[in-house]
Structure 1
């Protein structure tokens, strides 16, 4: 029994396992994926049309300005722009500066007749007294710098043919003995020369006097109101026209003091050369006129100056005046500029070397320019070929 049962069990097929009722059908894990292919935006872009509207080429023309000198179109345009800028700047700056600069009180200058050999010393004394009075008034006004300058001018060794402490001031100082001098140089200054800057002018005249030695006199002639460098007046001959008759009168009175054989040379610096150019035709008794650092004389040539004096000219290589257009133009009835360059061949002056002098260096002791100015004053310079 037991053996038969065991065999039956071995022959019977195996039973399948009974499913567990807790077993649940699970969803298949395979998911449908979205296609990765994406629609792309077209790369073609609409471009703006390249055609642009152009401005009309027709331009308004400026009124024709009469120019004296170079007629090159480019040079003319640059000159007009430069002059317009300078005039516009000059009209504004001096007005504001004048409003900010108080007038320094000073006594009226001594009223004297033209000096003679007999009255020369009393003339010197009268102007020293006037300078002392002006110094005290400037001190009381609170201007110590002007007071110190005028106090120094009142020293017993100083010799003035004129002194006026009012406004910018004027002074005509003598170095040497006029009554015995056989050679006399008269220095005519340029812009920005006044009593407030007089020391610079004084040193220039003193340097020339020291170089020329005895028998020579040098006169620092600040006999007019010089223009300011940054101003409209420095571009026009207005101040020079006002100064020219004063210079002629001074030279005439000076000849009355000098020996009849005395040789007179004018040394005209910067804007002072415009003054000398305006006065040249009536400067009787002047044998030589030297123009240094000159922007022009207002004349186109030596012949146009109408003088018998020999005309000399020089400019240092470091002088900024060399970059200024040497021409002349009429703007609304006002002349701007001073014409032909005095050292150019077209002008016809006797050109002498000035080395590397800058605009304010012509009277530097030991300089080439001072050496030649001394030779012209003394009459020992060699006659150069005309420019």
Structure 2
């Protein structure tokens, strides 16, 4: 018995040492990033309360903001940012929210939001910004292609995501700041499309954001599904501890490096780091679905098992969702 206790204590010290090293090694990144000059940009358009009737006006106003921001970025000499912003200002782009300042925030709609029976909101993880937005957008487009006219998809870049190599990515600080914004956004969606069922599809650190918001996603901000994919943890011991009536789902691809992240929480230098129980473990208690052999960026890849299952979840086809055992039998049977 004493030997097993000693091993557990040693393992705990090792995990804490790993987390402490990550914190110590990562703090240089925010400092260096803070020294990077900010690109001039206009503030967001003043839209007031957006309704189904005023959606087109909101989309047009946000395209105009993107166009002004593109001109300012070009004048500043940042050709890469200007190129991204010009694409966002092009005809047919439909942003419910758009703020080009700093790293940028946006909420782009795919489909007929006002009349959609189902709405999927994608919540991104680390290193997502205006400058890297295309890879996030590609996932939303792939999902909408599968859903077709039956549902709308929203790519919600509504918070300042942490850097993949930073102290912020292993704490819940950014998530706690983002969660009220996400809750308010879901409430706005219900105001525009009151009869729609909303599903949150949360990738990587975005799963932490969704988990923090979960207890508040009720009533006028209710969601039906909470899917955590490629998650480092949810900051909770179990799905039940999230305090939500939504169905909690989880998945991880076989080649996702997030599996190697220690699923612990520890106090390091007075800060709680790590997110606790692995969401795909039996102990967490989520409904685990098959994600195939994909890596960390493959959950919305066209033709992937994870995208197939996320489509079924959004459409409410729960009995068609394949779990890991089902996928294994289909492959080897």
Which of 245, 248, 253 matches 1:311?
248
Quick one: distance in 1 between partners of 2:94 and 2:279? 33
Specify the alignment match of 2:294 in structure 1.
Answer: 357
Specify the alignment match of 1:278 in structure 2.
Answer: 212
- 1:264 matches 2:198: yes
Gaps of 5+ in 1: 1-70
Quick one: distance in 2 between partners of 1:191 and 1:263? 27
- 1:238 matches 2:173: yes
Alignment of 1:147-226 (within 5 A): 147-226=82-161
Specify the alignment match of 2:330 in structure 1.
Answer: none
TM (normalized to structure 1)? 0.79
Assess if the C-alpha contact under 8 Å between 2:16 and 2:268 holds in 1: no
The superposition leaves residues 319-367 of structure 1 with CA deviations (integer Å, 9 ceiling, x where unpaired) of 0000111011122431101111000011000000001110011111111
Specify the alignment match of 2:331 in structure 1.
Answer: none
Gaps of 5+ in 2: 1-6, 326-333
Cα–Cα, structure 1 residues 348 and 386, in superposed 2: closer, same or farther, change >3 Å? farther
Specify the alignment match of 2:303 in structure 1.
Answer: 366
Task: After TM superposition, give the deviation of residue 212 of structure 1 in Å.
Answer: 1.1
**Deviates further, 73-82 or 342-351:** 73-82
Cα–Cα, structure 1 residues 386 and 357, in superposed 2: closer, same or farther, change >3 Å? closer
Task: After TM superposition, give the deviation of residue 155 of structure 1 in Å.
Answer: 1.1
Assess if the C-alpha contact under 8 Å between 1:182 and 1:259 holds in 2: no
Quick one: distance in 2 between partners of 1:72 and 1:116? 56
Quick one: distance in 2 between partners of 1:385 and 1:178? 30
**Greater Rg over alpha carbons, structure:** 1
Quick one: distance in 1 between partners of 2:167 and 2:224? 33
Assess if the C-alpha contact under 8 Å between 1:223 and 1:247 holds in 2: yes
Q: Is the helix fraction higher in 1 or 2?
A: 2
Assess if the C-alpha contact under 8 Å between 1:350 and 1:386 holds in 2: no
Task: After TM superposition, give the deviation of residue 259 of structure 1 in Å.
Answer: 4.1
Specify the alignment match of 1:109 in structure 2.
Answer: 44
Quick one: distance in 1 between partners of 2:188 and 2:119? 14
Quick one: distance in 1 between partners of 2:223 and 2:140? 18
Assess if the C-alpha contact under 8 Å between 2:111 and 2:151 holds in 1: yes
Quick one: distance in 2 between partners of 1:380 and 1:303? 22
Quick one: distance in 2 between partners of 1:162 and 1:335? 32
Task: After TM superposition, give the deviation of residue 118 of structure 1 in Å.
Answer: 1.8
Specify the alignment match of 1:8 in structure 2.
Answer: none
Structure 1 ranges of 4+ moved more than 2 A: 383-387
Cα–Cα, structure 1 residues 282 and 201, in superposed 2: closer, same or farther, change >3 Å? same
Task: After TM superposition, give the deviation of residue 154 of structure 1 in Å.
Answer: 0.6
Quick one: distance in 1 between partners of 2:248 and 2:323? 12
Quick one: distance in 2 between partners of 1:114 and 1:325? 43
